[in-house]
Structures are given as structure tokens and as C-alpha cells.
Chain A
């Protein structure tokens, strides 16, 4: 187990180094960040001073070397735009993104699992056809457009919910969370529903497939032969066994939701790290982009690792060592 985890972490380090290098070189090619930072009236002398203060006057490889040397000490440079530490800027916004992603994923599971089990139990029912058609729409409709339409209906036409932004937050330790206030929920509702419509559709399909696979199994037949209540078969025997694919998919999709936050957050003006990434890409704020990538690679690797470990907990037959890292 320990060897497996260490191998995965080393792999993550390698990916982080490669990604940061590629993006470092890539973003260097496309523009001069100094032109973004200096005021239009700045003289060449002032521009050179700015360039020197960020170390941008040095050769590119040396810059990358300096970056790596600092990165080892968890210092990922300062934002060109604000002068604040890049990683700090991202970490500051991370709770907002994680909060949205968690609420959205929980909502998807709450919608998806019961509907999926229903569709698996009654494959021929009319309601099942409705559910399955709905799920095709759910993951086919472009998600950002669904978000816009929700804003149009609930914020513009009906005026029930605010169109964007994050509500009042409550400080929990170092983290500000908005799930404890009514205002927070009113602003979480639309973005979380947008994501949940797409991810819930996926979970419906996974749950349905798993249910249909599990139903003809001997343990279900035996439980019925024993005369157990149908509800017990459903919630204990069936649910335990279909949990594995559901947990795997939900876990991996959580990573997708965090990455897709770039889109959701720009639509709903949600002050998370996805919006920050997009803004930083547009303003060529290289340190923030690189720091974001390093963080997200680390996060995704940790998430995959957590899903794998959970997998082996849920299903004792799975051995981590035998799977490829």
C-alpha cells in the first residue's frame, strides 16, 4: 500500500514538473506580461525596472530554474497583476470552488441514484423511458447553455433567485463557507443545479447499468428466496453492490466538476479558482496559471488515489498492488 501511494505521488510530481515547464515556455512565447503591468505612459526605463523586479530580464531557462528552486519551498512566485503570492490567491478562492463542486455532486447523487435504481428495476416502464431520455438530454445539452437558460428563467423571468455571485459566508476556521446562510443557498442553487443536471444524468446511467447487472445475481435470488422484505434487498443487498461503480464515477466526476468550474464560475460570477484561471489566462498572469496547474494536478492525483483506496475498502477483492499505477 505505502509503495503504491509513493509511486503515485512521484508520478504526480513528474506530471507537475512537465506541465509547469510546458506552460512556462508556452506562455512566454505568446506575450510580454510587462505590457500588461506597466501603465501606458511608462518609460522604457520603468518597464525595465518592472521586468527586473519579476526576474523577467533573465534567460528563460534560468527563470524556470529559479521557479523550480522556489517551488520546492512551496513558493510559486507572485502574481504579475496584483503582486500577491500566486498560490495564496488560488488557495483563497479554493473553498468557494470546492463548496460549489461538493454541493453539486451531492445533488447529482441524490437525484441520480434513486432514479437510476428505478430505471434498472423497471426497464420497460414508461417512467424509465422518460428518465433515460432525460438523462441523454442531461449530458448532451451544452452545460454552459443550460446555466444561461436557468438564469433566464429563474433570475430574469421569474426573479426568484439572484443571477450570480456568492452569498454571505460564515467563517469556519480559516475557510469561509456560504452553505450555512440562506443567502448563500439562494446563490448556490442555480450553479449547483446546472452542474447536477449533467452529472446526475451520468449517475443515472451508471446506477441503472449496475442495477441491471446485479439483479440476476444469485445473492439477490437467494435473498428473495429467504423471503426478505423487498426494501431490505434493495437497500442492503443491492445498494452495497452497486455502490462501487457509483463511488468511482462520482469521485472521478468530482474532479471534472472542479476543472469545469472555469465555465460554471464565469457564467454565475462565482468567485472561485476557475474564474481566476480564466482571468489569469486572458491577462497572461503566468505565475497564477502555472500555480493553478500545479495545484489541480496535485488535486486530481490525490482524488484518483482516494477513489482507488476507497474502491479497495468497498470491495475487499480489489488489491491495489496488482493494478497499474
Chain B
């Protein structure tokens, strides 16, 4: 029973498949790469564990009253002294269940990494966009600052800053933001210099829109892809950097041990063969960082305009 078309009526649109939206294309390309999917799974796993740490952990590692000193430095799989629980990954020098300590440590590590990268992304993007948009001496001053900072290794920048600022989660975040904003500023400026020449920016300027609006509403969304790539890679970097600083003893305070600090705590016991106190927190750290890097690696491939089909 075929429908007769009345003259002037439009043929049903179902003949052509709907064009792929950019988001669909992005999803298709992302899931085409097995390694990237593995990375995403690892990342989701790490974030999930960090989010639900209080419910997943067999023990609250911060509750010193619950710790039994007779249980300290037990190897993986040991039963606790009162027989109430099994330490699947062993215990550390303070008799903390290592599995619980790792869950909570992952939380500290991811929060510090995530917060600092987000802040660095915002600050760096604004600086980079402003430098590209205004040009002239503003650009020269800002970019010279960026150049000088980038010639200085981030571990030293963070180390010196923490020497000055002192210990604390907030101090570590500040140090990481200062150590990383320049990467975003340079990437944002590079992308914005290209966008600035495009017609839609000219059109926006012709409509006499204010510069904050042109910058943030028109140019920023078009500069995002490279910034997202840098953000993923820098997230991995920030987590590794934080753990390194905590390992050196200038990072997070003892009351909120991150993975780096757990590894540092195990260092003194390692020479006597108690490997697990340093080993397992390192594995957790590696899972998070490798996951992020695999995702970031592939994001760089698909978001790079040179590679777009």
C-alpha cells in the first residue's frame, strides 16, 4: 500500500540516514581504538574507587582508634589479630589496611590532580586567549613569562613553591597550578591565533560585541580541542608530580596520605623485604596514570585537525 505523493508534498526524510553529529563521530573514533577503551576503563575504575572509597573500603584508615598495632606490617592475605577481617594487600607500618589506605589515597591523588588541572586550564586559557586577542605588548609580556617558566622543569617549580608555601593539600594544588598553567596558556594562544583570523570572529566584532563575549563565547569553544588534550596529559602529569612531591615529604600532610605518601611510608620497610607497602600503592598510581595517558594519547590523535578525515 504505497502512499501517493500529492504534488508539493515533501518526500519522507527517512531516505537518507541522518548526518553524523560531531559528537557521534567523536564517539565512533574513540571506541575504535582498543587501547583507548582500556585506558577509559582503567580511568573509570580509578575514579569510581576514589568516589566510593568510604563504602568500598573494609576499614576507615583515618580512624586511628580502629587500628590495632599488633596488625602492623602484615603480609598480603593475613587475618587481623582479632580475626574480624582479612588484609588482602597487607598492612603498613601503622597497621592500616593497605587496600583501604589505597582507596582513600587514590581519592586524595585524584582530587589534587583534578582540581589543579582544572584551575590551570581556566587560568592558562584566559591568559592565552587574551594574549592572542590583544597582541602587542600584552602578548609579548605574557608569552615571555610563559617561555621562561616552561624552560624551568615543573618538579623544581613545584618543589621551590612548596618550600615557600609549606605543607597542605591546598598548598600542593596551588603549586601544581603555578607549575602547569603555562602549558595551557601556550596552547590556547596557538589555537586562538588561528581562530582570530576567521570570519565568525570578525562578524562578532562587527556586531560590536564586547571583547569578553567574543573571547569566551565565540573563540573559546573553538579553541577547546587542543586544550582538552593538554588537560588529559597534564592530569596524568599532575598526579605523578603530586605523588613525587609527597614522596619527597613536601606534599600532602600525613593526615591525608596520597598514594605518593603511602609509597614513601613503605620505602623504609622495603630493604627488609616488606615490599607490599610500597608496591601496591604504586600499582594503583600506575593504573590511574596509564589509563589517563592512554585516553589522552588517543584523544590527541582524533582531536588533531591534521588527522581529521
What is A's interface to B at a CB cutoff of 8 Å?
A: 11, 15, 22-23, 26-27, 29-30, 133, 136-137, 139-145, 148-149, 151-152, 155-157, 163, 255-256, 259-260, 262-263, 266-267, 277-278, 281-282, 289, 293, 296-297, 300-301, 304, 324
Contact = CB atoms under 8 A, between A and B. Distances in A.
Interface stretch (B44-52, B187-195, B240-248): B240-248
18 contacts: A11-B148, A15-B148, A23-B163, A23-B164, A26-B163, A142-B243, A142-B260, A143-B244, A259-B155, A259-B156, A260-B153, A260-B155, A262-B155, A262-B159, A263-B244, A263-B248, A296-B156, A324-B147
B132 interface: no
Contacts of B160: 23, 26, 281, 289, 293
Contact of B163 (A140, A256, A289, A301): A289
B73 to A, nearest CB: 15
A259 B153 contact: yes
B170 interface: no
Interface of B: 35, 147-148, 151-153, 155-156, 159-160, 163-164, 166, 236, 240, 243-244, 247-250, 260, 263, 267, 270-271, 273, 275, 278-279, 282, 285-286, 289-290, 293-294, 297
A151 B247 contact: no
A47 B194 CA distance: 61
Q: Which of B163, B248, B293, B294 has the most CB of A within 10 A?
A: B163
Nearest to A136: B293
B22 to A, nearest CB: 27
A23 B236 CA distance: 28
Contacts of A137: 286, 290
Secondary structure dominating the interface of B: helix
B101 to A, nearest CB: 16
Given A282-B249, A296-B156, A152 B275 contact: yes
A114 to B, nearest CB: 22
Contacts of A155: 271
Interface centre among A144, A145, A259, A296 (most CB of B within 10 A): A145
A37 to B, nearest CB: 18
A136 B35 CA distance: 11
Contact of B286 (A15, A141, A296): A141
Nearest to A15: B148
A142 B282 contact: yes
Given A140-B293, A141-B289, A142-B285, A263 B163 contact: no
B36 to A, nearest CB: 11
Given A142-B244, A142-B285, A142-B289, A29 B294 contact: no
Contacts of B152: 297, 300
A122 to B, nearest CB: 18
Question: Which A-B residue pairs are the 7 nearest by beta carbons?
Answer: A26-B164, A259-B153, A145-B282, A281-B163, A140-B290, A140-B293, A140-B289
